[in-house]
């Protein structure tokens, strides 16, 4: 952007990001931290340079989705770990799209990890720390009154569409998109993709070796966590 953006007061600090005000009420700065958490915050740690890696990966992927006609909150990358974004009225419902069984889905269905699903599955989760961000149904979301039926339908459609764009992109870089989490907000009544898209919010496995290149390396103490995040950055930013 041509005008200089001034960072203002801290508006919010979460587990992985800090949001700052700017002199434009419609824009905020999203700062990516190196801190890492798992299991609803029960496990905590630091992944060196994770914030910088995730900011750059997210910026690249938001740009890719914008070109595909999917509206996101992304405006521009200000530095290696901060991006300028549109301020959204966030919807407290996460959408997770699963292409391959892993993690909690494997436990619920009794599938071995790595089993391809017949078709992508979308699950909704209610963002509430006090409840442990539980999985909810479409009806639960409407009962809670945290999202309209129309907007929830839009979230589901957008999540499938985002998956259709991202999965072949990653495949072209030797990564299997096992599953991914998306968060949305409202801007002028329109449902807009927010948050981030990174190894924190997606499971990436190497297509050939099936090596995990995501936050599971931190969750499961697999080692080489920083190297996995850097490898995702290298592949996402590199040529196909």
- In which band, very low, low, confident or very high, does the pLDDT at 3 lie, cut at 50, 70 and 90? low
Measured CA to CA, the distance from residue 122 to residue 181 in angstroms comes to: 10
Residue 76 has pLDDT above 50, yes or no: yes
Residue 239 has pLDDT above 60, yes or no: no
Residue 240 has pLDDT above 80, yes or no: no
Quote the pLDDT of residue 221.
92
Each as own residue / partner, the long-range contacts of residues 125-133 (CB below 8 Å, 24 or more positions apart, any chain) are 125/93, 125/94, 125/95, 125/96, 126/92, 126/93, 127/92, 127/93, 127/94, 127/183, 128/92, 129/40, 129/41, 132/40, 133/40, 133/94
Helix (H) or strand (E) holding 108: helix 103-109
Least confident of 34-43, 143-152, 188-197, 230-239: 34-43
Q: From the centroid of its chain, how far is CA 80?
A: 18
- Tens of pLDDT, residues 92-139: 999 999 999 999 999 999 999 999 999 999 999 999 999 999 999 999
* Sequence-distant (≥ 6) Cβ neighbours of residue 139 within 8 angstroms: none
- How is residue 47 annotated by DSSP? -
Mean pLDDT, range 9-34, rounded to an integer? 95
Quote the pLDDT of residue 2.
46
Q: What domains lie within the chain, and their CATH numbers?
A: 10-86 (3.30.200.20), 89-223 (3.30.470.20)
């Amino acid at each position: 952007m041509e005008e200089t953006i001034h960072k203002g007061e801290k508006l919010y600090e979460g587990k992985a990001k800090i949001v700052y005000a700017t002199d434009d009420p419609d824009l905020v700065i999203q700062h990516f931290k190196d801190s890492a958490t798992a299991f609803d915050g029960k496990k905590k740690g630091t992944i060196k340079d994770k914030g910088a890696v995730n900011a750059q990966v997210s910026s690249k992927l938001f740009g890719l989705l914008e070109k595909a006609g999917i509206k996101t909150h992304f405006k521009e990358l200000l530095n290696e770990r901060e991006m300028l974004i549109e301020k959204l009225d966030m919807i407290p419902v996460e959408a997770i799209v699963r292409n391959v069984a892993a993690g909690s889905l494997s436990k619920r269905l009794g599938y071995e990890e790595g089993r391809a699903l017949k078709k992508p599955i979308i699950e909704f989760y209610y963002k509430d720390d006090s409840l442990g961000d539980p999985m909810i149904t479409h009806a639960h979301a409407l009962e809670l009154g945290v999202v309209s039926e129309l907007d929830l339908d839009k979230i589901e459609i957008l999540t499938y569409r985002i998956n259709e764009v991202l999965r072949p992109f990653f495949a072209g870089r030797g990564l299997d998109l096992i599953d991914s989490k998306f968060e949305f907000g409202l801007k002028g009544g329109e449902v807009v993709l927010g948050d981030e898209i990174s190894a924190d919010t997606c499971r990436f496995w190497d297509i050939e070796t099936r090596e995990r290149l995501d936050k599971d390396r931190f969750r499961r103490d697999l080692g080489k966590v920083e190297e996995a995040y850097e490898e995702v950055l290298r592949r996402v930013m590199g040529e196909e």
